[in-house]
Amino acid sequence: MIRLHHVPGSRSMRVLWLLEELGLPCELQVWSLTDGGLRSPEFQAMSPAGRVPALQIDGRAIFESGAIVQYLTEREDRLAPAPGTTERAAFLEWVGFAETQANILQALNIQHIFLRPAAARSIPLMKLDTKRLAVTARALERHLTDQDRLLPSGFSAADCMMGFNIDAVFRFLPATEFPALAAYRDHMTARPAYQRAKARAGGDSIYERDFYEVPDV
Ligand SMILES: N[C@@H](CCC(=O)N[C@@H](CS)C(=O)NCC(=O)O)C(=O)O
Mutation probe of ligand 1 site: the residue of 52, 100, 164 with most atoms within 8 A of C-beta: 52
Tens digits of pLDDT across the chain (217 residues): 999 999 999 999 999 999 999 999 999 999 999 999 999 999 999 999 999 999 999 999 999 999 999 999 999 999 999 999 999 999 999 999 999 999 999 999 999 999 989 899 999 999 999 999 999 999 999 999 999 999 999 999 999 999 999 999 999 999 999 999 999 999 999 999 999 999 999 987 789 999 999 988 6
Task: Find all residues with CB under 8 Å of 13, minimum gap 6, and list them.
Answer: 6, 164, 197, 198, 201
How many angstroms separate the CA atoms of 126 and 111, rounded?
Answer: 7
Q: What angle do CA 130, 132, 136 make, to 5 degrees?
A: 110
Do both 54 and 111 map to the same domain?
Answer: no
Do both 92 and 153 map to the same domain?
Answer: yes
Do both 130 and 59 map to the same domain?
Answer: no
- Tell me whether residue 51 is in a domain: yes
Do both 92 and 187 map to the same domain?
Answer: yes
Do both 68 and 92 map to the same domain?
Answer: no
Q: Which residues line ligand 1 (CB under 6 A)?
A: 7, 10-11, 33, 38, 50-53, 64-66, 99
Give the count of domains, the chain: 2
Do both 112 and 165 map to the same domain?
Answer: yes
Distance in Å, CA 151 to ligand 1 centroid? 25
Do both 114 and 186 map to the same domain?
Answer: yes
- Tell me whether residue 217 is in a domain: no
What's at 119, amino acid-wise?
A: A
Sheet holding 26-30, edge to edge: 26-30, 2-6, 54-57, 60-63
Q: Which atom of ligand 1 is nearest to the CA of 51?
A: 12
The CA–CA distances, whole Å, from 147 to 7, 74, 88, 188, 195 equal: 31, 25, 17, 13, 22
Q: What is residue 3's DSSP assignment? A: E
Distance in Å, CA 217 to ligand 1 centroid? 31
What is the full DSSP assignment across 21-44? HHT--EEEEE--SSSSGGGSHHHH
Looking at residue 185, which CATH number applies to its domain? 1.20.1050.10
User: What is the domain extent for residue 169?
Assistant: 86-191
Q: How far is CA 16 from the centre of its chain?
A: 11
How many angstroms separate the CA atoms of 22 and 167, rounded?
Answer: 23
- Tell me whether residue 216 is in a domain: no
Q: How far is CA 187 from the centre of its chain?
A: 16
Closest CA relative to residue 151, chosen from 73, 76, 75:
73
How many angstroms separate the CA atoms of 180 and 73, rounded?
Answer: 27
Q: Give the chain's largest Cα–Cα span.
A: 53
Q: How many CB atoms lie within 10 A of CB 52?
A: 24
